Amino acid sequence: MQNRFIDSISQLSKPLSSALVPLLHDDFCGHIDANQLSELMDKTKLTEQELLLALLPVAAALASPSLSQFFVGAIAKGGSGDIYMGANLELPGEALFHTVHAEQSAISHAWLSGETHIVDIVVNFSPCGHCRQFINELVDGSKINIHLPGQATAPLSHYLPYAFGPTDLNVTRPLLSKSIIEFNLESSDPLIIEALDQAGLSYAPYTNCHAAVVLETHDGATFCGRYAENAAFNPSMQPMQMALSNLIRHNRDYSDIKRAVLIESSKGQISLVGAAMDALHTIAAIELEHIVVDPT
């Protein structure tokens, strides 16, 4: 079991901790598939909602809140039945807008894993306005159920009445919708090829700045992040922050990073290179490889 889960396991009931420990192996990054979830329910005799709420301390153990020391954990349940944990991430000494919120982390975890629909968000503290707006960008966002300890379950529309969202800006394919952009670039570099693929899956309906970041660690593993825009603009999730959140979920350190690539579309109205460099240089002494590509 990973050391970061020791304290959280001690907060769980004996049946749950016994059933969960075998899952918390070195490769565990917060993903529990539908079959594993069903097995946990059988072994603990908990309902699904009871189980997901009980798992929040484990999700919070994924957090890296270097500024606030305030640990937030979230769980997104996908349409597949799988669950995806996420946690807040803060970059030491950097501006607060670089922060990744727990709900964003969980949602991006699900998105990077191929989910096209999220039905439930479980979180240990009430979602802030930033996160409510981010959730509202998703497919059927207003219908996503929000689960909180000690409170009745309610859809996002309860927490974000009179919402402003994609349809107000004439966007009909919200975040998590399947969409692929092709780019004109030939390369034999695996990291660049992966970044191109991820940029093609990014979500940028407001600026057309389709972009992605891929981080490579010294052992050859890669961790990606895609750009995810928001109708309210500020809750947009940067690809570098998504990649760093992905890295931390997988129990890696910033010192493990040996290479970082940002791919972005030449047709974008903005560039993410400045923000990506700021975030990267805060945590790693490496240069960002920035490639601008033309869409087909």
Which of the residues are catalytic?
103
Q: Is 90 annotated as a binding residue?
A: yes
User: Can you say whether the dihedral through the CA atoms of 129, 132, 134, 137 is positive or negative?
Assistant: negative
Pairing of strands 211-217, 257-265: antiparallel
Amino acid in position 7: D
Q: Is 209 annotated as a binding residue?
A: no
Q: Is 115 annotated as a binding residue?
A: no
The backbone torsions φ and ψ at residue 123, rounded to the nearest 5 degrees and listed phi first, read: -145, 150
**DSSP symbol at 3:** G
Q: Is 117 annotated as a binding residue?
A: no
Q: Is 89 annotated as a binding residue?
A: yes
Within 13 Å and on the Cβ side, how many CA atoms surround 149?
Answer: 13
Cα first-last separation, the chain: 46
Cβ pair 107, 139 in contact under 8 A: no
Task: At 136, list the tokens.
Answer: 């509202």
Q: Is 48 annotated as a binding residue?
A: no
- Measured in whole angstroms, the distance separating CA 248 from the mean position of its chain's CA atoms is 11
Which residues are documented as binding site for Zn(2+)? 101, 128, 131
Which residues are documented as binding site for substrate? 88-90
Which residues are documented as binding site? 88-90, 101, 128, 131
